Amino acid sequence: MTGNLRARKRVEYVKKLLEELGIEPERVEMFNLSAADGPKFAQFAREFTERIKELGPSPLKEDEKKEEKAAA
């Protein structure tokens, strides 16, 4: 099994864990690109950034803020 395939399996595992925790699995993604795919990388980065913006802040950050306020 190659490193890329192991990494893909790990990413899928993390996505399942996130879903079980109530966090959007769309927050994690893996792309296979060659070093010559600069424009494609830029496109993926823009699309992923937009996806994260649409999802909003991490639910974990919100929980941290609530805990900080409760402790104050």
pLDDT computed for residue 11 by the predictor: 97
Q: How many angstroms separate the Cα of 35 from the Cα of each of 38, 40, 42, 70? A: 7, 10, 12, 48
Q: pLDDT tens across 24-66, in order?
A: 999 999 998 888 999 999 999 999 999 999 999 888 877 666 6
Q: Positive or negative, the Cα torsion across 20, 21, 23, 29?
A: negative
pLDDT computed for residue 35 by the predictor: 87
Q: In 3D, which of 12, 13, 10, 26 has the Cα closest to residue 59?
A: 26
pLDDT computed for residue 63 by the predictor: 65
pLDDT of residue 72 exceeding 80, the answer is: no
* Structural domain count, the chain: 1
Distance of alpha carbon 35 from alpha carbon 14, whole angstroms = 25
- This prediction's pTM: 0.71
Using alpha carbons only, what angle is made at residue 60 by residues 43 and 68, rounded to the nearest 5 degrees?
135
* Residue-range definition of the domain harbouring residue 66: 3-71
pLDDT computed for residue 25 by the predictor: 95
